[in-house]
Chains A and B, each alone.
Chain A
Amino acid sequence: MIPALTIENLSKVYSDGFEALKGISLEVQQGDFFALLGPNGAGKSTTIGIICSLVAKSGGRVSVFDADIDKDFPAAKKHLGIVPQEFNFNMFEKGIDIVVNQAGYYGLPPRLALQRAEKYLKELGMWDKRDVPSRMLSGGMKRRLMIARALVHEPRLLILDEPTAGVDIEMRRSMWDFLKRINAEGTTIILTTHYLEEAEALCRHIAIINQGKIVENTSIKHLLRQLHKEVFIFDCVEKLPDTVVIDGFTVRLMDAHTLEIEVEKGQYINQVFSALDTLGIHISSMRNRANRLEEMFVNLVEGTA
Chain B
Amino acid sequence: MTRQEQYVAFMTIVRKEIKRYMRIWTQTLLPSAITMSLYFVIFGSLIGSRIGEMGGFSYMQFVVPGLIMMAIITNSYSNVVASFFGSKFSHSVEELLVSPTPNYVILMGYVVGGVSRGMLVAVVVTIVSLFFTELHIHSYFVVVLIVVMTATLFSLAGFINAVYANSFDDISIVPTFILTPLIYLGGVFYSMDLLPEFWANVSRLNPLVYVVNAFRYGVLGVSDVSLPFALGMIALFTVVAFAFSMHLLNSGKRLRQ
Q: Give residues in A with beta carbon < 8 Å to B.
A: 14, 49, 52-56, 73-75, 77-78, 80, 82, 84, 86-92, 97-98, 101-102, 104-110, 149
Contacts and interface: CB of A to CB of B under 8 A. Distances in A.
B243 to A, nearest CB: 21
Contacts of A49: 257
Contact of B6 (A52, A82, A86, A107): A107
Of the four ranges (under 10, 10 to 19, 20 to 34, 35 or more), the interface on chain B belongs to 20 to 34
Contact of A105 (B87, B90, B96): B96
A107 B4 CA distance: 7
A152 to B, nearest CB: 11
Given A54-B256, A56-B256, A106-B5, 4 more contacts: A53-B97, A84-B91, A90-B87, A104-B13
A14 B257 CA distance: 8
Given A56-B252, A74-B1, A74-B100, A88 B94 contact: yes
Interface in B1-56: 1-2, 4-6, 8-9, 11-13, 16, 19, 23
B95 interface: yes
Contacts, number: 83
Given A90-B90, A91-B90, A105 B257 contact: no
A291 B204 CA distance: 75
A149 B94 CA distance: 12
B175 interface: no
Contacts of B1: 74, 107
Contact of A102 (B11, B19, B99): B99
Nearest to B24: A92
A108 B257 contact: no
Contacts of B86: 90
Given A53-B97, A102-B95, A89 B9 contact: no
B257 A104 contact: no
A197 to B, nearest CB: 29
Contact of A149 (B13, B16, B95, B252): B95
B207 interface: no
A89 B95 contact: yes
A108 B16 CA distance: 15
A104 B11 contact: yes
B216 to A, nearest CB: 38
Contacts of A80: 98
Nearest to B11: A104
B101 interface: yes
Given A104-B8, A106-B5, A109-B8, A84 B101 contact: no
A156 to B, nearest CB: 14
Contacts of A86: 91
B4 A77 contact: no
A57 to B, nearest CB: 10
B8 A108 contact: yes
B92 interface: yes
A96 B256 CA distance: 27
Contact of A106 (B16, B100, B102): B100
A89 B23 CA distance: 17
B92 A74 contact: no
Contact of B99 (A55, A87, A105): A105
Contact of A55 (B8, B9, B91, B257): B257
5 contacts: A53-B98, A54-B256, A89-B92, A105-B101, A106-B100
Nearest to B105: A105
A41 B80 CA distance: 35
A144 to B, nearest CB: 16
Contacts of B257: 14, 49, 54-56
B95 A107 contact: no
A199 B1 CA distance: 35
Nearest to A100: B12
A53 B96 CA distance: 11
Contacts of A54: 94, 97-98, 256-257
Contacts of A84: 91, 94
A101 B252 contact: no
B2 A107 contact: yes
Nearest to A55: B257
Nearest to B101: A105
The 8 A-B residue pairs whose C-beta atoms are closest, nearest first, are A107-B5, A104-B12, A74-B100, A105-B99, A88-B91, A77-B100, A90-B92, A52-B98
Nearest to B99: A105
